[in-house]
Every structure is written in structure tokens, then in C-alpha cells.
């Protein structure tokens, strides 16, 4: 029999057939990983043309889009991979919740996954700022002023992000370095740890005689080889690559007019153009004080999500069973949070 290749080595030799079905994981974790790696592959060539200064950043984005050979395609691929990553990672979180896969022994891996998602959000925001057009400049002004309100650490965090008292050249360099190094490296390390823990915790969650519907005496459930799993993953990644190219060929990444240095301050609420994944925060900002809308509520949502596997339904019962009653309270909390975030986003879009 042929020796396993490097992709096959990422998996245990055999996998339970039921949990290897597409309709169990929907391949969402693997797709997120593929998109994350695509962001690096498409991001490195962009670094050769991008100029991280306040005066030249926007022009260099235009040079990438209109002058560099295939620059428009690379930029579009980078943009759409970032959009799809946040969507697939968000749906992956929902899959983990609704199939009870956050329970023991996977509680720590839940935290690693959540931390990776948070870093992905920060990576997306820092990339958005690098466009350095009127939209992103408005969001940067509002975002950094909110950071200032952070209890005790506000001024220090502001300095860390902005690189001085006002937004200037140093700010672009800061965001560029966070985006291309300071956030990517920890995100990659966390991602590696997350994947290692999937194997360490016994592979993708599956029903055991104690947690599932089988009795200890029932026949062993069927298993498939890792070669078969890698072939299925290969097909899913090819399909995802086709989607990525289709989106990039037909829909361009957004680009607003450049910032006019003589136009004065941009931080009026009507000027704020948060990226799509923070529109729910923008909707809150219109209704509540910046401290609540920009810091306390987002931190509260993160804390609730982080603690969910410890707060309720802590026993392993119901692992790998869709919508098991033993996980009801966690399912309800996550549904309420998801509906709140989606409703606020739609309100901001069409309200
Ligand atoms: C941001 C990028 C992420 C990547 C690339 C990623 C990748 C993966 C992969 C490849 C798996 C293996 C099986 C599968 O596809 O489900 C997995 C499992 C898992 N992930 Fe993630 N993940 C990410 C985010 C998250 C988030 C946001 C959470 C939850 C807060 C999370 C929690 C988990 C847990 C608990 C498992 C084990 C599930 C099981 O055994 O059924 N992950 N992840």
C-alpha cells in the first residue's frame, strides 16, 4: 500500500464514516483553513507594490488595481478570500455549537478557535484600513477614538495603533505591520494549535457509547480511510477555488475616493463606513454611547461566547448529535446572539 502523503498525515489513519460525511462538518473548518492560506498566497505579491505612507497608500492601491499585471485579480482574490473566511469561520462556529462539539474534551479547542476568529476579524479590519480611502479613513478615525475609551489601557492602545497623537504616516506603517506580521504570525500559530488539538482531542467529534445513541455492545460504526477523506477535501477545495475565482472575476473589491487632506475632519456619524463585519457595531454606535457600543457590548459578546462551554451544558452528553436537547441552553444563547448581530447589520444596511 502507498505511503501516506503529507495531507494524509494531517488525519488519523481512519475516520468514523458518519462524521466524515460532508453534511456533518460541511467542510467549514477545512474551507476556513484553505481561505486563510489563500490570503497569504495572494497577500505577499500585493506587498511588493503597496506603499505604506499616508500620501502614497491610496495611489499604490490604484497602481495595483489598474497598472500592475493581474494586480486587479490578485486584489479581488485577496478581498473575496477575506470575506469568505469570516463567513466560513462563523458558520463553522455555528456547526460546532449545534452539533455539541464544543463539549469536553474540546472546550479548550473552542477557545483556540474563537481566538483565531477574533484575530481574523482584526486582520480584516487592518486590511480594510490599508485601502486608505474616505470610507476606511472614517472607520479608522472612529475606531481609534473608541479604543481611547478603553478603561485604563485606552491611551496606551491608541498609541500602539496610531503611532502618535494624530493619524499620520506612522499610522499606516503600524496598520501595515500589524496586518502583514503582528497579527498574521499569532493567527498562524493559533491555527496550527487549533488543528493539532483536533487530533489530540480524538479527531472530529463523534458519538461514543457514553455520549451517543449506541450501546457499548452495538457493532463498531463504519470508518473510512484518510486517503478517501483527503480526496473528498481536495474536491471541496477545488469547488471553493472556483467560487473564489468566479467572485473575483465578476465583482471588484471596493475602492472609494482618496482622502482629501484639505477636507477637514471626517468623523461625523454620516461619514462612518464600517466594514461589513462591523456594521452591527456601527448600528449600536448610532444608538448608544461609544463606550457601550464600541467596547462593553462587543467585549461582552466575546466573553459570553468564550465561556459558553463552561457556563452551561458542560457534560459530554449530546456530542456529535445535531440539536441535542442536552445542549439547548448554549444553542439558544448562540441563536439569540446571531439574530441580534444579523438584525443590527440589516438595520444599518437598509434602515
Ligand atoms: C478561523 C478559522 C478556523 C479554522 C481555520 C478552523 C479549522 C478547523 C478544522 C479544520 C477543524 C476540523 C474539522 C472541521 O472542519 O470542523 C476544526 C474543528 C474545530 N473547531 Fe475550528 N477553525 C476555525 C475557527 C473556529 C472557531 C471560531 C471555533 C469556535 C469558537 C472553532 C472551534 C472548533 C472546535 C471545537 C473543533 C472540534 C470540532 C469537532 O471535533 O467536531 N473553530 N476547526
pLDDT at position 207: 81
The reported pLDDT for the residue numbered 217 is 66
Angle (nearest 5°) at CA 36 between 179 and 20: 155
C-beta separation of 119 from 136 below 8 A: no
Which residue has the least CA distance to atom 1 on ligand 1?
A: 117
Ligand 1 pocket by Cβ (under 6 Å):
25, 28-30, 32-33, 36, 89, 92-93, 96, 101-102, 106, 109-110, 113-114, 116-117, 120, 191, 194-195, 198, 204-205
Of 266, 270, 264, 275, nearest in space to 286 by CA = 270
The verdict on pTM exceeding 0.85 is: yes
Would you state the pLDDT for residue 166? Answer: 87
Which residue, by CA, sits nearest to atom 12 of ligand 1? 29
Q: Among candidates 52, 73, 15, 113, which has minimal Cα distance to 309?
A: 113
Angle between helices 134-148 and 154-162 (to 10 degrees): 150
**pLDDT above 90 as % of the chain:** 75
pLDDT at residue 314 in the model: 72
Domain 6-203+221-264 class in CATH: mainly alpha
Closest approach atom of ligand 1 to CA 102: 35
**Rounded distance, CA 297 to CA 310, Å?**
20
- CA distance to 21, 62, 67, 307, per residue, from 300 (Å): 35, 39, 45, 11
Residues 6+ apart with CB under 8 A from 232: 20, 22
The predicted structure's pLDDT at residue 211 = 46
CA–centroid distance, residue 330 to ligand 1 (Å): 17
Q: Give yes or no for a contact between 22 and 236, defined as CB atoms under 8 angstroms apart.
A: yes
Give the Cβ contact number of residue 21 at 10 Å. 12
pLDDT for position 212 = 47
Based on C-alpha coordinates, what's the Rg of the chain? 22
Classify residue 287 as exposed, middle or buried by CB count within 10 Å of its CB (0-12, 13-18, 19+).
Answer: exposed
CA distances from 231 to 16, 108, 303 (A): 16, 29, 38
Cα 93 to ligand 1 centroid, rounded to whole Å: 7
User: Residues 275, 139: contact at Cβ < 8 Å?
Assistant: yes
Domain positions in the chain: 6-203+221-264
pLDDT recorded at residue 256: 84
Which residue, judged by its Cα, is nearest atom 14 of ligand 1? 29
Conformation bin of residue 318: beta by default, left when phi > 0, alpha when psi is -120 to 50:
left
d(CA 253, CA 258): 15
- 258 beta partners: 133
> What string of pLDDT tens digits covers the 351 residues of the chain?
678 888 888 888 899 898 889 999 999 999 999 999 999 999 999 999 999 999 999 999 999 999 999 999 999 999 999 999 999 999 999 999 999 999 999 999 999 999 999 999 999 999 999 999 888 888 899 999 999 999 899 999 999 999 998 888 899 999 999 999 999 999 999 999 999 999 999 889 988 755 445 555 667 788 999 999 999 999 999 999 999 999 999 999 998 887 765 454 444 444 558 999 999 999 999 999 999 999 999 999 999 999 999 998 777 888 999 999 999 999 999 999 999 999 999 999 987
pLDDT at 216: 59
Amino acid at each position: 500500500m502507498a505511503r501516506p502523503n503529507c495531507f494524509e498525515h494531517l488525519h488519523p489513519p481512519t475516520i468514523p464514516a458518519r462524521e466524515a460525511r460532508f453534511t456533518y462538518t460541511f467542510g467549514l473548518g477545512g474551507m476556513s483553513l484553505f481561505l486563510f492560506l489563500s490570503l497569504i498566497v495572494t497577500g505577499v505579491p500585493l506587498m511588493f507594490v503597496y506603499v505604506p505612507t499616508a500620501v502614497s497608500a491610496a495611489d499604490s492601491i490604484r497602481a495595483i488595481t489598474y497598472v500592475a499585471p493581474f494586480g486587479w485579480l490578485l486584489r479581488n482574490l485577496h478581498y473575496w478570500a477575506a470575506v469568505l473566511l469570516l463567513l466560513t469561520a462563523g458558520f463553522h462556529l455555528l456547526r460546532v455549537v449545534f452539533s455539541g462539539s464544543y463539549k469536553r474534551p474540546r472546550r479548550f479547542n473552542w477557545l483556540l478557535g474563537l481566538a483565531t476568529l477574533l484575530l481574523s476579524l482584526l486582520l480584516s479590519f487592518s486590511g480594510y484600513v490599508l485601502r486608505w480611502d474616505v470610507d476606511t479613513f472614517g472607520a479608522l478615525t472612529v475606531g481609534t477614538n473608541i479604543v481611547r475609551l478603553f478603561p485604563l489601557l485606552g491611551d496606551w492602545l491608541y498609541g500602539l495603533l496610531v503611532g502618535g497623537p494624530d493619524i499620520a504616516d506612522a499610522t499606516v506603517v503600524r496598520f501595515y505591520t500589524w496586518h502583514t506580521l503582528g497579527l498574521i504570525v499569532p493567527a498562524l500559530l493559533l491555527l496550527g494549535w487549533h488543528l493539532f488539538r483536533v487530533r489530540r482531542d480524538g479527531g472530529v467529534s463523534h458519538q461514543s457509547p457514553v455520549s451517543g445513541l449506541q450501546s457499548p455492545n452495538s457493532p463498531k460504526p463504519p470508518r473510512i480511510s484518510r486517503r478517501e477523506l483527503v480526496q473528498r477535501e481536495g474536491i471541496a477545495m477545488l469547488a471553493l477555488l472556483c467560487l473564489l475565482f468566479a467572485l473575483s472575476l465578476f465583482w471588484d473589491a471596493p475602492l472609494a475616493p482618496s482622502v482629501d487632506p484639505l477636507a477637514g475632519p471626517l468623523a461625523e456619524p454620516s461619514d462612518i463606513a464600517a466594514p461589513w463585519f462591523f456594521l452591527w457595531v456601527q448600528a449600536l454606535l448610532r444608538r448608544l454611547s461609544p463606550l457601550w457600543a464600541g467596547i462593553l457590548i462587543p467585549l461582552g459578546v466575546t466573553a459570553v461566547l468564550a465561556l459558553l462551554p463552561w457556563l452551561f451544558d458542560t457534560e459530554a452528553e449530546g456530542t456529535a448529535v445535531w440539536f441535542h436537547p442536552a445542549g439547548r441552553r448554549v444553542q439558544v444563547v448562540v441563536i439569540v446572539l446571531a439574530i441580534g448581530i444579523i438584525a443590527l447589520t440589516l438595520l444599518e444596511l437598509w434602515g
